[in-house]
């Protein structure tokens, strides 16, 4: 664990250990243990920290000692496109839609707006370009049947793809007729980690 790297990254971003704790859904003591090398950082935590710091995931993983960035190609050919993408506040939204987003999110930390980018859950009513409200605050409390956002990691190439699936412990399953979506993923917090729970969805 490169503690100095993390301290510098937090300073550059103007963030604190409390901000990291909130991002990974743990208390500050856990963050301190991770930063001091007394507790291993989980892949889902690395992803949350990369998002918080707005830096590439391989850079965080490398600093955490989870793999050597030097040995990782910049892109893994043929790796799947994501099922969902974060909604960027810079995206143009029209009148009522902007009001819906503001009302649904209500400036709550850890409650984010995402957009559906594939048909992986189309048979369950999640259509491409739908908006979704996602709770990323506690990545440990999920129930059978919850629709979740997860990360599937390719540790060999240092890449990850974001999935939209239904959680049937310990599996993630799609609701789609597309062959590309038929893979069943096992949540193990290393190869596959849940990132958040879908609270609501809507479309224009």
Could you report the per-residue pLDDT of 148-169, keeping only the tens digit for each? 999 888 877 777 889 999 999 9
195 located within any domain: yes
List the CATH number of the domain containing 54. Answer: 1.10.260.40
88 lies in the same domain as 182: yes
96 lies in the same domain as 192: yes
Structure tokens at 1: 């664990």
102 lies in the same domain as 146: yes
Weakest-pLDDT range from 14-18, 56-60, 147-151: 56-60
10 lies in the same domain as 41: yes
**What local confidence, expressed as pLDDT, does residue 195 receive?**
87
Weakest-pLDDT range from 89-98, 113-122, 143-152: 89-98
Evaluated on CA atoms 143, 149, 154, 158, the torsion sign reads: negative
Domain that holds residue 32: 3-71
Choosing from 71, 99, 131, the residue where a domain stops is 71
pLDDT band at 93 (very low <50, low <70, confident <90, very high): low
Choosing from 26, 45, 71, the residue where a domain stops is 71
67 lies in the same domain as 91: no
**What local confidence, expressed as pLDDT, does residue 77 receive?**
35
Structural element, H or E, at residue 159: strand 159-168
**Residue of 188, 159, 163, 160 lying closest to 173 (CA atoms):** 163
- Total-model pTM: 0.60
Query: Distance between CA atoms of 95 and 35, rounded to whole angstroms?
Result: 44
167 lies in the same domain as 192: yes
77 located within any domain: no
pLDDT band at 79 (very low <50, low <70, confident <90, very high): very low
How do residues 110-131 score in pLDDT, each as one tens digit?
788 888 999 999 999 999 999 9
Query: Above 90 in pLDDT, residue 138?
Result: no
113 lies in the same domain as 177: yes
185 located within any domain: yes
191 lies in the same domain as 149: yes
Question: What is the total residue count of the chain?
Answer: 204
23 lies in the same domain as 90: no
Averaged confidence pLDDT in the chain: 81
79 located within any domain: no
65 lies in the same domain as 102: no
108 lies in the same domain as 198: yes
What is the count of structural domains for the chain? 2
Query: Distance between CA atoms of 152 and 165, rounded to whole angstroms?
Result: 11
11 located within any domain: yes
Query: Above 80 in pLDDT, residue 84?
Result: yes
100 lies in the same domain as 11: no
60 located within any domain: yes
């Amino acid at each position: 664990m490169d503690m100095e790297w993390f301290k510098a990254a937090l300073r550059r971003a103007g963030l604190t250990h409390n901000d990291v704790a909130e991002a990974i859904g743990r208390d500050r003591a856990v963050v301190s243990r991770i930063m001091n090398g007394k507790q291993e950082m989980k892949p889902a935590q690395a992803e949350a920290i990369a998002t918080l710091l707005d830096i590439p995931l391989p850079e965080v993983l490398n600093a955490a000692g989870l793999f050597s960035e030097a040995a990782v190609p910049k892109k893994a050919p043929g790796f799947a496109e994501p099922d969902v993408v974060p909604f960027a506040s810079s995206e143009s939204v029209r009148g009522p839609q902007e009001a819906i987003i503001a009302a649904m999110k209500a400036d709550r930390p850890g409650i984010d707006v995402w957009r559906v980018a594939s048909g992986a859950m189309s048979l369950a009513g999640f259509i491409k370009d739908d908006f979704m409200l996602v709770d990323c605050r506690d990545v440990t409390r999920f129930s059978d049947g919850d629709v979740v956002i997860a990360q599937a990691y390719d540790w060999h190439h240092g890449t990850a793809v974001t999935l939209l699936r239904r959680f049937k412990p310990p599996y993630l399953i799609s609701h789609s007729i597309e062959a590309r979506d038929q893979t069943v993923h096992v949540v193990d917090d290393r190869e596959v980690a849940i990132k958040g729970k879908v609270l609501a969805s809507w479309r224009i």
